[in-house]
Amino acid sequence: MLSQSKLAIIGMGHVGCALAHHLTIENLCGELVLINRRSEKAWAEAEDLKHSLGFSENRMRIYAGDYQDCSDADIVVLSVAAPYKEGNTRLDMLEKATDIVQEIVPQVMASGFSGIFIVITNPVDAITYLVHKLSGLPSHRVIGTGTSLDSARLRYFLADTMQVDPRSVEAMCLGEHGDSQMIPWSQVTVGAKRFQQILHDNPERLKGVDIKEVQQEISQIAYQVVRAKGATDYGIAAVAARMINAIVRDGNIVMPASVMLNGEYDESDVYAGIPAVITRNGIKELVTYHLEASEVKAFKQSVKVLKDVNAKMLATLK
């Protein structure tokens, strides 16, 4: 039952706080534990969230806790973050993020946790792979947010360009949540019509749309936001909350996620962003597209980036 769901968020920075607020507004669990290296920060955020319930029918139990409180959690969200430095890519955060995750995950597992990990921490594909390795949990119960936010950005961009509701757009980014990600344009539709056909049929209306520039914009927009405000939080909190919704409400929702590939596109032993069906048990199945040859090549190039990063990461583990 929804009222019995217990969630723990580890890392109460911009993203963790935005996610906690989102979960509270949507009343997505019965018990929410906030965990942070500075325990007073977790306490303050929990108190502030509880005060927001003063005029609400929401009766969630919200409190600051520690890793032992993960023992009976249904979901543990990793939203810890390595400090961002100007000019860095997500992959440049790998070393610091690896150190942080190596410290946290064993303590969570020592509590007796046997639920589902959702990983937001960047570089998310590599860190999700690491969490899987450190936790010993089956891969379908360790899920990264992957290209979900990139896909949300793409849907919004195309909807704004076409002047339609974003729910009328089906578009997903694949591969790395980072600079090597790719857009399978052959699969993008607006109102069930392929976007490539829309471009062909409406050359004047869409003459300002350059597919290569769109891909560049989607992959780089996060850096612009971070430079201007210090972090991206609302978007990633929204997509993480949707993922949590799919789990606690057994939604069978199809959305992009960083998942373990087991032969899809002839790739395996790597976490990468592709669409997946998410249920109360985690990843139910993966959705594979019939991609064009050039798209398969682009996806495999992105996966190679991730495999190289994973090899580098595993070689440095303590």
| Binding-site annotation, residues | 15, 36, 41, 67, 90, 120-125, 145, 150-153, 232
Which neighbouring-strand residues pair with 255? 276
Binding residues for substrate: 90, 122-125, 150-153, 232
Which neighbouring-strand residues pair with 260? 271
Which is nearest to 166 in space by CA: 154, 180, 175? Answer: 154
Q: Are 84 and 15 in contact (CB under 8 A)?
A: no
Residues 6 or more apart from 195 whose CB is under 8 A from it? 158, 171, 185, 188, 189
Dihedral in degrees, nearest 10, Cα atoms 232, 234, 238, 244: 70
Q: Are 35 and 75 in contact (CB under 8 A)?
A: no
Binding residues for NAD(+): 15, 36, 41, 67, 120-122, 145
CA distance 121 to 318: 19
Q: 140 by DSSP, 3-state: which?
A: helix
- Pinpoint the alpha helices (H) of 115-194: 124-135, 148-162
Which is nearest to 114 in space by CA: 91, 142, 133? Answer: 142
- Pinpoint the alpha helices (H) of 183-231: 195-201, 211-229
Catalytic residues, by residue number, are 177
